[in-house]
């Protein structure tokens, strides 16, 4: 299971900050939106409460933010989900999921995040048009987002929902479900072109561990191969001389070296078994002429091949 998507990060105080990445990004976006259009008309209460919550809520000062988020949700619960407010519905529940996960109230977090997921799915089924983004509540009309920009922001918010759910399910011991959500997150990050290459590669390489321990060797190999390709997008590790001249280059050098080392460790420990000679029989083998044990063995091998062929159709991360 990918390290950044595990319950280890949700439960460990030293790693819990990963759950707050979306919060910090959202808080910054809200503050920026509020200052970009100082003369615009004040929106309705739910929009202001979510922006206020995002700009005042920090890890050390949760109660005010939680109060504003809950107040915002009360306003939203009186409304019907529409293109004007669906992004707000999802953002609020993502934030509350983050909040409760950070307080080790995992089941509460699960409830908010699963609701956000169902809202997205229902909206896409019943409407599907690019919804208004939160930042547009504070923009003048000429600065409104294009349909393409709205779609990307909306899909990114839903990707965050899946990301947080992967951590929650892992923490609750639902490992298979967590792996599926982790995989979906990685796939959507590629599609949206919103990912850090080394983080993505490390997550994919670590996810391969789960697949291989479950005997899903094809998935494991695929994740490792994807990790190799994507890690190459991070570029070369800065030279020691460059690292000495720039603190930023020094940090980047150390980060790339560490993550590539982590990925190499996974590669060296993940050895998928070779195909057994006993499983190489062709479909037209005359199984009926073999002894009972051999017949059963070949039938199991065929079932595995059929299952693997089916999984191939849904496995691709993308070209």
pLDDT at 314: 47
To the nearest whole number, what is the mean pLDDT of the chain?
Answer: 74
Question: Mean pLDDT highest for which of 74-78, 170-174, 198-202, 226-230?
Answer: 170-174
pLDDT over 70, % of the chain: 65
pLDDT at 5: 42
> Higher model confidence: residue 308 or residue 117?
117
pLDDT at 273: 52
Tell me the mean pLDDT in the region 1-24: 38
pLDDT at 210: 92
Q: Is a pLDDT exceeding 90 seen at residue 269?
A: no
Q: Is a pLDDT exceeding 70 seen at residue 6?
A: no
> Higher model confidence: residue 44 or residue 242?
242
Q: Is a pLDDT exceeding 60 seen at residue 267?
A: yes
Three-state SS sequence of the chain: CCHHHCHHHHHCCCCHHHHHHHHHHHHHHHHHHHHHCCCCCCCCHHHHHHHHHHHHCECCEHHHHHHHHHHHHHHHHCCCCCCCCHHHHHHHHHHHHHHHHHCCCHHHHHHHHHHHHHHHHHHHHHCCCCCCCHHHHHCCHHHCCCHHHHHHHHHHHHHHHHHHHHHHHHHCCCHHHHHHHHHHHHHHHHHHCCCCHHHHHHHHHHHHHHHHHCCCHHHHHHHHHHHHHHHHHHCCCCCHHHHHHCHHHHHHHHHHHHHHHHHHHHHHHCCCCCCCHHHCCCCCCCHHHCCHHHHHHHHHHHHHHHHHHHHHHHHCCCC
Q: Is a pLDDT exceeding 80 seen at residue 201?
A: yes
> Higher model confidence: residue 198 or residue 166?
166
In 10 A of CB 230, how many CB atoms? 24
Q: Is a pLDDT exceeding 70 seen at residue 11?
A: no
Q: For residue range 27-52, what is the model confidence (pLDDT) as tens digits?
A: 333 343 333 333 334 444 555 555 55
pLDDT at 13: 36
pLDDT at 307: 66
> Higher model confidence: residue 224 or residue 52?
224
In this structure, is the dihedral angle defined by the CA atoms of residues 171, 175, 180 and 185, taken in order, positive or negative?
A: positive
Annotated domain spans of the chain: 1-195, 200-271+309-319
pLDDT at 275: 42
Question: Mean pLDDT highest for which of 43-47, 59-63, 227-231, 245-249?
Answer: 227-231
pLDDT at 246: 78
> Higher model confidence: residue 76 or residue 15?
76
Q: How does residue 318 score in pLDDT terms, banded at 50, 70 and 90?
A: low
Q: For residue range 129-151, what is the model confidence (pLDDT) as tens digits?
A: 999 998 888 788 888 899 999 99
Lowest mean pLDDT among 54-63, 104-113, 260-269: 54-63
Tracing tokens 């060797």 back to the chain, one arrives at: 217
């Amino acid at each position: 299971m990918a390290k950044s998507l595990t319950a280890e990060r949700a439960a460990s105080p030293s790693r819990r900050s990963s759950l707050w990445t979306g919060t910090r990004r959202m808080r910054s976006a809200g503050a920026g939106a509020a200052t970009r259009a100082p003369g615009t008309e004040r929106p309705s209460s739910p929009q202001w409460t979510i922006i206020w919550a995002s700009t005042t809520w920090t890890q050390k000062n949760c109660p005010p933010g939680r109060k504003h988020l809950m107040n915002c949700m009360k306003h939203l619960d009186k409304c019907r989900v529409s293109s004007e407010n669906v992004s707000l519905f999802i953002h609020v529940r993502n934030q509350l999921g983050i909040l409760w996960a950070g307080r080790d109230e995992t089941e509460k977090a699960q409830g908010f995040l699963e609701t956000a997921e169902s809202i997205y799915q229902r909206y896409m089924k019943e409407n599907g048009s690019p919804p208004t983004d939160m930042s547009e509540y504070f923009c003048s009309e000429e600065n409104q987002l294009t349909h393409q920009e709205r779609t990307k922001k909306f899909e990114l918010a839903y990707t965050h929902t899946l990301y947080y759910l992967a951590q929650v399910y892992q923490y609750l011991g639902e490992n298979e479900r967590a792996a599926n959500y982790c995989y979906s997150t990685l796939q959507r990050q590629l599609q949206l072109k919103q990912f850090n290459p080394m983080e993505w590669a490390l997550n994919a390489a670590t996810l391969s561990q789960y697949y291989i321990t479950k005997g899903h060797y094809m998935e494991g190999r695929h994740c490792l191969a994807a990790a190799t390709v994507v890690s190459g997008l991070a570029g070369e590790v800065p030279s020691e001389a460059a690292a000495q001249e720039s603190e930023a280059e020094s940090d980047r050098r150390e980060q790339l070296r560490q993550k590539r080392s982590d990925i190499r460790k996974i590669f060296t420990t993940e050895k998928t078994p070779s195909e057994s000679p006993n499983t190489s029989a062709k479909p037209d083998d005359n199984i009926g002429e073999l002894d009972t044990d051999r017949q059963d063995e070949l039938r199991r091998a065929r079932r595995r091949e059929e299952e693997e062929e089916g999984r191939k159709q849904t496995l691709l991360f993308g070209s």
